[in-house]
Amino acid sequence: MTRKPVHESRDNRQLIWEALKSASGPMTRTELQVASKVAASTVAAYLKALVAGGIVDKAEDQGRSTYRILRDTGFHAPRLKADGTPVKTGGAGLNLWRSMRMLKQFSARDLAAHSTTTEVDTTENHAKVYCSHLLAAGYLKVVQKAAPPKRAAIYRLIRDTGPVPPKTQRVHQVYDPNTGEVHFTGGAR
């Protein structure tokens, strides 16, 4: 089975989370499925994780279950395992992007330091690779060239398209879910 290109895929958790956040009151699973346009089994599994994680409350109302947010974690959908515990892998890209948006200028080492949390460990090498892809796609500008081994390159974010991080792909391109654009980066690695 082949993977769907990232620009054709959807983050179902985010769609469900946005539907929950935009609700004026508690919602049933069916209402969430319709609002998010996500499969019923996916909605059920994510709701189970959100309830287990203490982020969403499940209540019985006239023989049917309704759900409402107890703890709003912000724009990004909570990344949880089935048992409600936070997912600790794969958040580096999001943290790197957030750090880029907050810092005026940064090196890969700065980004790694600002992007590492108790849940996500971001390496300097990962930050370097992510920066090289975003530089090739036109998101970053080099403010100061590297002078190895004394000085690392210093970058500035010049294209802040929104809160969702651009995704690097194996086929040497960057997909920006904020704009829906795909930028080819050639052989950047």
Instruction: Look at the block and give the residue holding tokens 């590297």.
Output: 146
Least confident of 55-59, 139-143, 145-149: 145-149
The structural domains of the chain, with segments of one domain joined by +, span: 1-87, 92-184
pLDDT at 187 (0 to 100): 59
Name which of 176, 141, 184 is nearest 7 in CA terms.
176
Residue-level length of the chain: 189
Say yes or no: domain 92-184 is CATH 3.90.1690. Answer: no
Q: C-alpha 80: how far from its chain's center?
A: 13
- The percent of residues in the chain predicted with pLDDT above 70, rounded, is 92
Same fold, 1-87 and 92-184: yes
Give the CATH fold of the 1-87 domain.
Answer: Arc Repressor Mutant, subunit A (1.10.10)
Report the predicted TM-score, pTM, of the whole model to 2 decimal places: 0.62
Per-residue model confidence as pLDDT tens digits over 73-131: 888 899 899 999 988 776 888 899 999 999 989 999 999 999 988 778 889 999 999 99
pLDDT at 9 (0 to 100): 52
Q: Which amino acid is at 167?
A: K
pLDDT at 13 (0 to 100): 92
Contact 96, 115 (CB under 8 A): yes
